[in-house]
Structure 1
Amino acid sequence: MEPHHEVSAIRAATKDDATAMAELVNMAGEGLPVYLWRRMAKAGEDVWEIGRQRARREEGSFSYRNTIVREADGKVAAALIGYPLPDTPEAFDPADMPAMFVPLQELENLAPGTWYVNVLATYPEHRGKGFARELLQVADRLAAEAGTKGLSIIVSDANVRARKLYESCGYLETASRQMVKEDWENAGTNWVLLVKRL
């Protein structure tokens, strides 16, 4: 019997991946995306449909255009969302931004000119197969192609498993900021910025 080889299981996302993207971004964000979509929803509007609509956008950080997916058995098993950050951080007024985002924006601004890994998530049934590591290798390649000086990622200090993975791939903690949670429930205390130099 011939060994089975999957044909190019890593590909650019399309609008048809919006459902998986919404689910995976919520996993990576530990429920924060759904918390925010719920606040955006009008009466009777499906929270998940808001996530899918956002995934289908042509613009914005959470867009299928910034997404690479890893398939297994013909279905999306994992996803990476990322893009280069500007060389000069945009000035921002914390008063113009929801308080929850201020620490995240402050950390992002400490990694100008890096390729930002916004989302990396794998469905539970596919964890432990190395898909996240494969996608981080794709991120390394995209970061080099974009001419960035490195990569950056922000993770909750409570997400020990993800952090171990990033550190094993060469990411180092460079800063942290206290979380602002409002009514969002999360085990973490701080957001941690990890940077990998190319």
Structure 2
Amino acid sequence: MNNKTTIEIRPARIEQSAAIARLVMMAMTEECCLHFCGEGATIDDFLTMMTLLVEREDSQYSYCNTLVAMDGDSVVGALVCYDGGELRELRQQFVRYALEYLHRDHSNLDDETQAGELYIDSLAVDPVYRGRGIATHLLNASLERARQMGLPGVGLLVDKGNPNAERLYLSCGFRYVDDNQWGGHAMRHLVRPVE
């Protein structure tokens, strides 16, 4: 890594799908990915599935819904976000692929967002690049995307067991709205209004 390199935030491209999928899985945590896999599927099966979902235009994890942090030609961070009102439609591909690749039915997942917010589904920065403000730049770029989409705010869920992430979000202008549950974890719903 060249410390003098300028990191650029850009819309993702389809050829970055494998790198984005790895970062999404990092954001989810291996424990969560394995939970989705269940018995008989591996983390590699999950990576294959996630890469295919990132390549699609109609998936919640689509490259079309992703902002990437670039160091030259390398993807070093990713933020996946979409209109919360489109969650159920976008999730259909995840449910379909989970049946096909993991042999698991995830059609009864709780809704993690709702209409009226640009929902940050996943945010991760390559560990080598952490501490350089990349996550903050990605979060700020999501605010601009919400503004362009005419949405009043940006929302996300943060695990109550991850106070470092919550501190980052609060320092970026997010505010606590309410409690939530997702994936068996107690979560806090935070929102940053578009100004």
Q: TM-score range by the shorter chain?
A: 0.7 to 0.9
Q: Which has the higher helix share?
A: 2
SS in 2 for 1:27: helix
Q: What count of residue pairs does the alignment treat as equivalent?
A: 173
- State, as a whole percentage, how many aligned pairs show the same letter: 28
Q: 1:193 to 1:143 in 2, by over 3 A?
A: same
Residue by residue, what CA displacement relative to the aligned partner does 1:92-136 show, whole Å, maximum 9, x if unpaired? xxxx9656x32xx1x513xx3111111111011111000010011
Q: 1:60 to 1:153 in 2, by over 3 A?
A: same
Separation (CA, whole Å) in 1 of partners of 2:40 and 2:174: 36
Which amino acid in the other structure matches residue 133 of structure 2? G
Does residue 145 of the first structure (1) align with residue 144 of the second (2)?
Answer: no
Larger radius of gyration: 1
Cα RMSD between the aligned structures?
Answer: 2.7
Structure 1 residue ranges, 4+ long, deviating more than 3 angstroms after superposition:
39-43, 96-99, 178-181
Separation (CA, whole Å) in 1 of partners of 2:5 and 2:128: 20
Listed as ranges, the gaps of 5+ residues in structure 1 are 91-95, 182-188
Aligned twin of 2:71: 72
Question: TM-score, with normalisation over the residues of structure 1?
Answer: 0.76
Listed as ranges, the gaps of 5+ residues in structure 2 are 90-104
Residue by residue, what CA displacement relative to the aligned partner does 1:122-160 show, whole Å, maximum 9, x if unpaired? 011111000010011111111111111111011111111
Question: TM-score, with normalisation over the residues of structure 2?
Answer: 0.77
User: Contact 1:41–1:50 (CA<8 Å) still a contact in 2?
Assistant: no
Which amino acid in the other structure matches residue 33 of structure 1? C
SS in 1 for 2:85: coil
SS in 1 for 2:53: helix
Q: 1:98 to 1:130 in 2, by over 3 A?
A: same
Q: 1:135 to 1:40 in 2, by over 3 A?
A: farther
